[in-house]
Structure 1
Amino acid sequence: MSDIEPADDLAGVPDGFERLWTPHRMAYIGGQDKPTDGEAGLGCPFCRAPTRTDEDALIVARGELAFVVLNLYPYNSGHLMVCPYRHVADYTDLTEAEVAEVAALTRTAMGVLREVSSPHGFNLGMNQGDVAGAGIAHHLHQHVVPRWGGDSNFLPIVGRSRALPELLGDTRARLAAAWPTAPKG
Structure 2
Amino acid sequence: MTRPIWAPWRLEYIGEAGTQDGCVFCLEASGELDDAESLVVHRGTHAFVLLNKFPYSSGHLMVAPSRHVGELGDLDPDEAAEIHALTTRGIDGLRSVYAPDAFNVGWNLGQVAGGSIASHLHEHVVPRWSGDTNFMPVLADIKVVPEHLLATRDRLRDAWPDS
TM-score range, shorter chain: 0.7 to 0.9
Superposition CA RMSD, Å:
2.5
Whether 2:50 is the aligned partner of 1:69: answer yes
Moved more, 159-168 or 114-123: 159-168
8 A contact 1:129–1:137 mirrored in 2: yes
Residues 79 and 91 of structure 1: is their aligned pair in 2 closer, same or farther, counting only changes over 3 Å? Answer: same
Structure (1 or 2) with the larger CA radius of gyration: 1
Partners in 2 of 1:143 and 1:75 — Cα distance? 10
Deviations 1:79-102 (A, max 9, x none): 000010110011111001111000
Query: Quick one: which of 29, 37, 59 aligns to 1:56?
Result: 37
Q: Which residue of the partner structure matches residue 109 of structure 2? A: 128
Amino acid aligned to 1:140: L
Whether 2:69 is the aligned partner of 1:93: answer no
8 A contact 2:92–2:161 mirrored in 1: no
User: Between the two proteins, what is the percent identity of the paired residues?
Assistant: 47
Gaps of 5+ in 2: none
Deviation at 1:53, TM superposition (A): 3.9
Partners in 2 of 1:34 and 1:75 — Cα distance? 21
Deviations 1:47-81 (A, max 9, x none): 00132244421110000000000001000000000
Query: TM-score by structure 2 length?
Result: 0.88
Q: Which residue of the partner structure matches residue 25 of structure 2? A: 46
Mapping 1:95-110, distance limit 5 Å:
95-110=76-91
Partners in 1 of 2:124 and 2:76 — Cα distance? 19
8 A contact 2:41–2:49 mirrored in 1: yes
Whether 2:95 is the aligned partner of 1:114: answer yes
Residues 126 and 54 of structure 1: is their aligned pair in 2 closer, same or farther, counting only changes over 3 Å? Answer: farther
Amino acid aligned to 1:32: G
Q: Which residue of the partner structure matches residue 167 of structure 1? A: 148
Query: TM-score by structure 1 length?
Result: 0.78
Partners in 1 of 2:126 and 2:39 — Cα distance? 16
Partners in 1 of 2:79 and 2:56 — Cα distance? 25
Q: Which residue of the partner structure matches residue 152 of structure 1? A: 133
Deviation at 1:163, TM superposition (A): 1.0
SS across alignment from 2:67: coil
Count of residue correspondences? 159
Q: Which residue of the partner structure matches residue 6 of structure 2? A: 21
